[in-house]
Amino acid sequence: MTSEGTTPNPSERLVFRAVPLKRSIAFGAGAAVLIVHLLWRADATLAGLPADAFALSIVLFAVEAFIAIGLTLSALADILPAAIDVKPEGLRDADLPSTDIFFVINDPKLAPKAAYSLAAAAQLDYPRDRVRLHLVGVDRATDQAESLAALAERMNTSWLAASPEANAGTAVNAALARTAGTLVLIVNVGEAPTPDLLRRIAGGFIGNPNLAFCDVPVFAIDGDPVLTDIDVNRRLPNDPGAFFKTCLKTIGAATGSLGLNHRTVWRRTALSNAGSCSRWNLRPDAPARIRAIEAGWMRGIVTRPMVASLAPDTVRDYLRLRMGQRIGTIDAALSQDPLTRSGLPLRERLSWMPALFGALMPFAWALAFALPPLALLFKIPLFGTQSPAAATAFSLLAAIVAIGMAGSLNAGMRGRLIGAWSEILESLLTAPSLFAIITRAKKTERVPAPEHANGLLVVVFAVALAGTAFGTAAWFTKPELQAAIAPMLALTIFTAALLACLLGAIAEPRQRRLAPRVARRFSAELLIGGSTVAGRLADISVHGARFIADDAVDLPARALGGQLTLDTAQGKTMLPVQLSRQTEAFGRPAFGLSFTGRTVGEFATVVRLAHRSGDAYADMCDARSKRAGLTRLFGTLSWRGLIGLWRKVNPPAAQTKWIPLRRLSRTMH
């Protein structure tokens, strides 16, 4: 319960998260386009249709109206956010609240990621006696608790193992009962707070005793060199994928009505009063968010990404993580009913509108994509006697605006194009799980694999592909039908192209190197070729940097390795480095350095360097590894989507040839 007896500071004024004026105007214009399109559809396209065409057009109109209303309310929720903006405030160390950070691990194979998280969290710019780290084991991690307990002991971290049958929510609740910190941060292994996270948000909790939790955006860093340095026997693929690379480069936005790519710092009192974490929800703290606001608490958010996450191994792992968050948020909205629940302010009710509409949005998108090609195949007109050019232009404009708004509102990405694609893809992939939730089927903890949950996507794509082939043939062989089929053919081709890209995105094989880079420069010394060179580091990432010497360097022979000396808060730190190239910068010699041979402690120093910043935060869009453009994305993903559809329709035959046991064991690994 909130502290009703406390006297608020009269000078204190709650400020909700600011929304840029351009964003508000864009959403207002998009909602206006959708509403005008609905009025045009009702006034000009339904008259004069035969009975079957009228029924099919009414169904399409109802689906379009549902999508338009859902997106309009979601835009209103984005323009009127429910979370207050948490600003950094200067506090003395004695006034900082104590914090417990829980790293949840569900598989012993993730031990290198656990080492990364613990090493990075150990570098927090926070008093050591006011932050405690805990490694929480669930599921398969409890089967090999000895090795993980040894890792926790090495990292000066407590090991909290749950019972083998406990899920994540139960394990976190048990861990909460054994700790006593004022603030609580729950993340997965492979994720870690940046050094300045706790100091930046602690003032919000101290200054506002009614603040229950604060959402923090997540950004991605490359996991390949990081895990290679921690565990030399583990090599991850780093083959670039256009869709996956672009997704990872654009996450980190504070927007996103479904809470994707957000981690939450809780006030322990608020979390306990709200019933702690759910045992069944895939996002364990989602139901508690509604109950906390109902009890009079408030929510906050920071716009600065301050939780670093190792990029998932493959695009499928990335999609599974986001699907779990999406399903958990929608499940909480359906079970807690924020619309009719008493005690919730209007802004809070609006903030859950995207989740409520999201329960049916996959099926609405599927119908909106499938009805035009079906009408084309069965030669049923949908747009009456309207001008073909006007109907085509207005229909395509409304479809593009709707998809773009959905991506900007829900995806939580800074890229408009990739956000729209990711939103439609994730929405269609969650359809089986959402159907099970709506029909109250047996609840499951597991998120379906993307390649197994794409049945609705494959069916709609097959229908769109058939409609495209039929419509194109009819366009050239029967010119008298061109006026009647033009709008439907345009929508069908657009749908087929979009779904081909989405199906191809699931089939992207592997990972792209990615790392945030810091523009701020640090003084350092480089021991190379037996001589010490003074200079500075620039363009620092988790796996390398550029060293610019202060004076000319005369190397009698090309050196391949060296030693870097840095002045840190803990004193001088030496890191072994490997020289990858020698160039010139500002008229002085410069060397490309790769951090190699790191111990966990040395790695923590590198992580601190890569995440540290001055006034401007780390540049998460590496200039030397730009996002993929529209042409490359469309070409590669469309081709891969067609191949994926062919393999889905014609699965390979079961192998009957005898394979030696030794060779079979190698192929299984």
* Per-residue pLDDT at 636: 67
Q: Collect all residues with Cβ–Cβ distance below 8 Å to 137 and sequence separation of at least 6.
A: 105, 106, 145, 148, 159, 160, 161, 162, 171
* Per-residue pLDDT at 109: 85
Report the C-alpha gap between 390 and 37 in whole angstroms.
11
> Which parts of 233-331 are beta strand (E)?
262-267, 298-301, 307-310
What is the per-residue burial (b if ≥16 Cβ within 10 Å, else e) of 232-243?
A: eeeebebeebbb
Report the C-alpha gap between 219 and 307 in whole angstroms.
6
Q: Residue 502 in 3-state DSSP?
A: helix
Report the C-alpha gap between 152 and 97 in whole angstroms.
24
Domain with CATH 2.40.10.220 in the chain: 522-611
Domain with CATH 3.90.550.10 in the chain: 87-318
Q: What is the mean pLDDT of residues 135-153?
A: 86
Q: Residue 181 in 3-state DSSP?
A: coil
CATH number for the domain whose boundaries are 87-318: 3.90.550.10
Least confident of 299-313, 419-433, 580-594, 605-619: 605-619
The answer to whether residues 428 and 464 touch, using CB atoms and an 8 Å cutoff, is: no
534 has a pLDDT exceeding 50: yes
> Which parts of 556-639 are beta strand (E)?
561-568, 571-585, 588-595
Longest dimension (CA), the chain: 89
Which is higher by pLDDT, 580 or 269? Answer: 269
Percent of the chain with pLDDT over 70: 78
Q: What is the mean pLDDT of residues 310-333?
A: 88
Q: What is the mean pLDDT of residues 292-306?
A: 92
Which is higher by pLDDT, 418 or 40? Answer: 40
pLDDT in tens, 238-280: 544 667 777 777 787 777 778 888 999 999 999 999 999 988 8
Report the C-alpha gap between 383 and 352 in whole angstroms.
34
Report the C-alpha gap between 629 and 53 in whole angstroms.
40
Q: What is the mean pLDDT of residues 619-646?
A: 58
The answer to whether residues 597 and 225 touch, using CB atoms and an 8 Å cutoff, is: no
* Per-residue pLDDT at 315: 83
How many CA atoms within 13 Å lie on the side-chain side of 94? 0
Backbone region of residue 190 per phi and psi (left: phi > 0; alpha: psi in -120 to 50; beta: other values): left
pLDDT in tens, 146-183: 888 888 888 889 999 888 778 888 899 999 999 999 99
First-to-last alpha carbon distance for the chain, in angstroms, is: 52
The CATH architecture assigned to 522-611 reads: Beta Barrel (2.40)
The answer to whether residues 156 and 147 touch, using CB atoms and an 8 Å cutoff, is: no
